[in-house]
Structure 1
Amino acid sequence: MTRLLRKWPLVVPVIALLGLVLTWGRDLPTGAVIVVAILLIGAVLAAVHHAEVIAHRVGEPFGSLVLAVAVTVIEVALIITLMTSGKAGTESLARDTAFAAVMITCNGILGLSLLLGATKHRLVRFNPEGAGAALAVVATLTTLTLVLPTFTEAAPDGRFSGAQLAFIAVVALVLYGVFVQTQTNRHRDFFLPVDSAGKKLPETAHATPPPTRTALISLVLLIAALVSVVGLAKGVSPAIEDGVRAVGIPSSFVGVVIALLVLLPEGISASRAALRNRMQVSLNLGLGSAMATIGLTIPAIAVASIWLPTPLQLGLGPVQIVLFALTMIVTTLTVVPGRATRLQGVVHLTLLAAFIFLAISP
Structure 2
Amino acid sequence: MQRRKFLKNSTAATAGLISAPLLAAQTKISPDQITNNIAAAKPIVICTWDFFNASSKAWDVLKEGGSSLDAVTEGVMVEENDVDNQTVGVGGRPDRDGNVTLDSCIMDKDGNCGAVLAMQNIANPILVARKVMEETPHVMLAGKGAEQFAYEMGFKKTNLLTEKSKQEWIEWKKTSKYKPIINIENHDTIGMLAIDANGDISGACTTSGMGYKMAGRVGDSPIIGAGLFVDNEIGGATATGVGEEVVRTVGSFLIVELMRQGKSPQEACKEGVERIMAKNKGRNDFQIGFIAINKKGETGSYCIHPGFTFRSYSEEGHVNNPSKSYIKS
TM-score for the superposition, normalised by structure 2:
0.34
Higher strand share: 2
Higher helix share: 1
TM-score for the superposition, normalised by structure 1:
0.32
Query: Higher relative CO (CA 8 A, sep ≥ 6), structure 1 or 2?
Result: 1
